[in-house]
Amino acid sequence: MQKTLHTKPFYYIRHGQTDWNIIHRLQGHTDVPLNATGIAQAYSAAEAIRGIEIATICASPLSRALDTAKILQKALGAEIEILDDLKECCFGEYEGQTGHNWMPDWEAGHFTPKGAESYQDFIDRSTAAINQALTRPGPVLIVAHGGIYWAVTEHAKYEKGTTLPNCTLVLNTPPSQDEPFWRQKLVR
């Protein structure tokens, strides 16, 4: 698998809020729908990004991300391409749980819940999915999950440990001759 991100600028937005987000329940592959707030967030994001040039929207197949993408599509007019590997991490037997005290050991590679992806396997899958999206006509908007963005954070050397809030749009710009580091710009 590709170990680094393609050096191409792209937009990224995490899906709107779900009921499980409110109580910090791990969603993983569980297909939890947007709640009323999440739907409103997606419509608000659509109004805020109307006019931004987007050629392709790549989305996770999980309804919380795909429904967000469909709402954004109405404002942007771009086609949606569903990429299965943009799904959130599979947390195995810990999916649906609210306790996350095991995550530092998981990220360090010392522990993986039964039936879950290892942290490194997840980062590798996420990186490959983002790179696959970046082969599409750009500018590309990726609509996915907080966990998928961990791969961006890791490769771009952004501050670790922060979660991308629901329906927050960021522009990620790769290093250049004038700017030696990835840059993250909050668009909305």
Residue 2 is predicted with a pLDDT of 54
Any domain includes 156: yes
- Tens of pLDDT, residues 10-41: 999 999 999 999 999 999 999 999 999 999 99
Half-sphere exposure of 104 (CA within 13 A, CB side): 2
Any domain includes 124: yes
Coil, helix or strand for 140? strand
Q: Is residue 173's pLDDT more than 70?
A: yes
- Tens of pLDDT, residues 97-113: 998 899 999 999 999 99
Better-predicted residue by pLDDT, 62 or 177: 62
Any domain includes 17: yes
Q: What is the CATH number of the domain that holds 70?
A: 3.40.50.1240
- Tens of pLDDT, residues 74-104: 999 999 999 999 999 999 999 999 988 999 9
Q: Is residue 1's pLDDT more than 60?
A: no
Any domain includes 108: yes
Any domain includes 163: yes
Any domain includes 72: yes
Please tell me the pTM assigned to this model: 0.96
Any domain includes 44: yes
Residue 184 burial class via C-beta count within 10 angstroms: exposed 0-12, middle 13-18, buried 19 and up: middle
Number of domains in the chain: 1
Q: Using 50, 70 and 90 to split pLDDT, how confident is the model at 188? A: confident
Q: Is residue 159's pLDDT more than 90?
A: no
Q: Using 50, 70 and 90 to split pLDDT, how confident is the model at 121? A: very high
Residue 60 is predicted with a pLDDT of 98
Percent of the chain past pLDDT 90, that is, above it, reads 89
Kindly give, in sequence order, each residue whose CB lies less than 8 Å from that of residue 151, ignoring residues fewer than 6 positions away: 5, 123, 126, 127, 130
Q: What is the DSSP string of 55-123?
A: SEEEE-SSHHHHHHHHHHHHHH-PEEEE-GGGSPPPBGGGTT----TTHHHHHTTS---TTBPPHHHHH
Peptide bond into 137 cis (omega under 30): no
Structural domain containing residue 78? 10-186
Any domain includes 5: no
Residue 113 contacts residue 90 (beta carbons within 8 Å): no
**Residues labelled catalytic:** 15, 88
How far is it, in rounded angstroms, from Cα 187 to Cα 45? 10
Kindly give, in sequence order, each residue whose CB lies less than 8 Å from that of residue 103, ignoring residues fewer than 6 positions away: none
